[in-house]
Amino acid sequence: MATVKKKRSGESAEKKIVEAARKLFTEKGYYAIKTRDIAKEAGINLALLNYYFRSKEKLFAIIMKENTVRFMQIITEIVDDEKTSIEKKISMLVTNYIDMLSLNPDMPLFIMSHAQRDDQRIRMREKMMSSFFMKQIQQAIKSGKVANINPANLMMNIVSLTIFPFIARHVMQGLTPKQFNELMEERKRMIPLWIEAMLKVK
Amino acid sequence: MATVKKKRSGESAEKKIVEAARKLFTEKGYYAIKTRDIAKEAGINLALLNYYFRSKEKLFAIIMKENTVRFMQIITEIVDDEKTSIEKKISMLVTNYIDMLSLNPDMPLFIMSHAQRDDQRIRMREKMMSSFFMKQIQQAIKSGKVANINPANLMMNIVSLTIFPFIARHVMQGLTPKQFNELMEERKRMIPLWIEAMLKVK
DNA sequence: GTCTATATTCTGATAGAC
DNA sequence: GTCTATCAGAATATAGAC
């Protein structure tokens, strides 16, 4: 038996720690979570956390990086494609975000809450505003195909309608998780249509 | 000189503490702020904070209450009025929120971040869904004046378009505060028009 | 009411045995 | 690699002088 890896009952300790950290940091944020919480959740000893990651700060940086990459990747993969139509891109942005966030519902609030203290700041606006997607929009405005909307506001609208519900989940009490999912499924269909309607407003 | 109050250079100590706590908690959240930070910001001694408020938790509860009341008040004052039209209500919600949040830009992220741990939970959804405003909408749908939109989604859209930009401020880097304000001024005008357009989408 | 000093608990991190 | 035990500093809260 040469390169056999690990036993059952859960991966390497290192991986278990990262998983626990991802879960807890993303749920509650950097300051609310103590290293002891992570160790307990991971089912390992507190000392081991420092053995592998040296400090809470460094472990957090890993999770922050993971989350921002996953969060930005959706935009990155879509907006700069030169062969996709405006309508298709909007529809893809909405669908891909809602699908991803349904699996990671705490991610947006995590991102927004930690954007200040983050080193390699997230560049959502920059990414979208300098994209080929924005060129397409400006072209469509010039040719009169859509109304003269401020591109920054268009971008803000797509993102707001898609992401905000996940951020506001906890103040939207009364919705069961099932109802919330149904609502988001409906929004996947409707948001592109609503955006389209906006693009006709003078 | 009978009921003369206090000296210049800043109110009572109690008030100064509350003001410092409001500023810091709202900006950075419960866990990120230490009682020492508040004492320092208020320009008073640490012991005095406990003398007046007994614990960090109790002081925080006051700020939480203040913020949620101010946040909900806008909705409360508008949606149940029986003499105001749908269009006017939407316009008032948008304008009043943007005006208030321009003065308290950190409030929405504070509310969303602390909604979980809050005792007397915020009831945004409940308030809006059971309001006279919703009756008006349902009436308008029935009479065919607007498309058959899911009322929960309509409410989500109004709130998303209005509030999300304040939450995402820090990931929307590159905007100066001045540019941000201009953007929000434009949104005050446009959001009601965009909502109106949505309400025609089948 | 306001302060200084201090008690107490919490928390991040390390030393050292296995 | 993993654990137990422990340290050092931070953070909340209180005692007691003024």
Tens-place pLDDT, residues B35-62? 999 999 999 999 999 999 999 999 999 9
For the ranges A21-25, B9-13, B152-156, which has the lowest average pLDDT?
A: B9-13
A174 → closest Cβ in B112, B125, B153: B125
A56 touches strand C (CB under 7 A): yes
Q: What is the largest CA-CA distance in chain B?
A: 70
CA distance B183 to A101: 27
Q: Is there a common fold for A1-54 and A61-199? A: no
What does the mean pLDDT of chain A come to? 94
pLDDT reading at A174 higher than 90? no
CB of B197 less than 8 A from some CB of A: yes
* A vs B: CB pairs below 8 A: 142
Q: What is the pLDDT of residue A11?
A: 86
Name the residue among B91, B106, B117 with its Cα closest to residue B163.
B106
pLDDT reading at B89 higher than 60? yes
The CATH number that domain A1-54 falls under is: 1.10.10.60
Q: What is the pLDDT of residue A59?
A: 98
Domain assignments of chain B as residue spans, ordered by start: 1-54, 61-199
Asked if B113 and B64 touch (Cβ cutoff 8 Å), the reply is no
A51 touches strand D (CB under 7 A): yes
Q: What is the mean pLDDT of residues B130-137?
A: 97
**For residues A33 and A9, which has the higher predicted lDDT (pLDDT)?**
A33
Q: What is the pLDDT of residue A113?
A: 98
A46 touches strand D (CB under 7 A): yes
> What distance in Å separates residue A153's CA from the closest CA in chain B?
7
Residue in B with minimal Cα distance to A179? B152
- Provide, as residue numbers in chain A, all residues whose Cβ is less than 8 Å from the Cβ of B171: 111-112, 115, 121-125
The 10 Å CB-count burial string (b at 16+, else e) for B74-85 is bbeebbeeeebe
- The fraction of chain B above a pLDDT of 70, given in percent, is 95
Asked if B145 and B85 touch (Cβ cutoff 8 Å), the reply is no
pLDDT reading at B26 higher than 60? yes
Query: In angstroms, how far is CA B14 from the centroid of its own chain?
Result: 24
Mutating which of B60, B171, B180, B202 best tests the A interface, going by the most A Cβ atoms within 10 A? B171
A1 band by pLDDT with thresholds 50, 70 and 90: very low
State the CATH architecture for B61-199: Orthogonal Bundle (1.10)
pLDDT reading at A3 higher than 80? no
Q: What is the mean pLDDT of residues A121-137?
A: 93
Asked if A161 and A95 touch (Cβ cutoff 8 Å), the reply is no
Mutating which of B57, B72, B118, B170 best tests the A interface, going by the most A Cβ atoms within 10 A? B170
- The fraction of chain B above a pLDDT of 90, given in percent, is 89
